[in-house]
Copies of this chain bind each other. A is one copy, B any other.
Amino acid sequence: MSRRRKKTQRKHGLPPGTLVFTGDRHTDVPDIVLVQYTESDTFMQSAREMAPPAREMAGVVWYDVRGLHHVPLIEQLGRQFGVHTLALEDVLDIQQRAKFEDYEDAVFIIAPALTFDEATLEVQHEQIGIYAGKDFVLSFQEKPDDTFASVRDRILHGNGRIRKRGADYLVYALLDTIVDHYYLVLDKLEELIDNQEHQVLTAPDESTKRSIHHLKLQVLALRKTVFPLREAVNAFSRSDNPMVQDSTRLFIRDIYDHTIQIMDAIDTWRDVLNGIFDLYLSQLSFRMNNVMQVLTIISTIFIPLTFLAGVYGMNFQNMPELGWRYGYYAVWGLMLLIALLLLHLFRKKRWL
């Protein structure tokens, strides 16, 4: 929850339209990979710092930028493909929610990629911006990991239908890759929730409530991320932008179904986590009840007996019982009787 703060520190007060990268530097120089392909041909070139020029050929041009802190690079690509300033600003401002914007003959999508950090047990976001026209796709990744390697491989090796279709299908493939990664995060979270549930049912301890709270925060953060993505994918699938072909729409619809399924899972987990927390609280109550019962049983049995011992410990000169021959044994008998009676009572009350 601490990334927001940086935004205002760096950007507050600047006129809108100024291009400023609001994230952390994750790499020294950005990596740029250029891929061009037709159904029969492919070309690939990678560079650092500035984008390599595209070759003169038909088909789709795809620039994949990893690392956003080098603003001139973004401006160069923006000028080259006529990207709207507001879209460039959004690409650089890593605080954006997922969104879909229709430009005249291009579409612009912001989609967060998720990974799960096993060390902190936190969901990590990476903002990915995709700007695509009829024959080009620009993808801007905040961090240097090669998220789209599998898509590039499919293009280069000609797997699946990707080379037979246009830029819109490439956008679909990129989004599909992003959403596919969500399932890995979901699996991790599901595993943690299952473990938590098991722990609450078997051995809840002081750290349990923090872990549940932590999981709740992760699920809340996930919800905040996925909900706008669902809307964005829906808008994309319904867009009448000329760059989206009807045959691709069905595929985008398929991603939409996935985002709905993910939202379903998240909403269910919210309820499940609330249920686990309630369970934890009732576990505490139950345990308290047990502790109190033990205290009450022990106290209730020995307090009268101790009183009796106290009575015969008094030093009155005239206490006839003290002189009785079997007085001591009689008292022991009386004490035993009282104890047995009380035990019987507790059993009847089902405290034992």
Contacts and interface: CB of A to CB of B under 8 A. Distances in A.
Integer count of this chain's copies in the complex: 5
Contact of A313 (B159, B220, B313): B313
Interface string A155-193: 000011110000000000100100010011011001100
Contacts of A213: 275-276, 278-279
Interface residues of A, number: 110
Interface string A97-111: 101000000000000
A328 B350 CA distance: 38
B159 A15 contact: yes
A119 interface: no
Contact of A282 (B12, B281, B304): B281
A199 interface: no
A287 interface: yes
B328 A17 contact: no
Contacts of A150: 13, 15
A280 B277 CA distance: 12
Contacts of A53: none
Contacts of A307: 302, 305-306, 309
B220 A210 contact: no
Contact of A288 (B209, B279, B285, B331): B285
Contacts of A304: 298, 302
Contacts of A1: 190, 194
Contacts of A99: 257
A45 interface: no
Interface string A284-297: 11111101111110
Given A213-B279, A224-B268, A298-B300, 11 more contacts: A16-B251, A84-B250, A99-B257, A213-B275, A281-B282, A292-B295, A298-B303, A303-B303, A315-B319, A316-B321, A317-B323
7 contacts: A5-B187, A13-B150, A15-B150, A99-B257, A224-B268, A277-B282, A316-B322
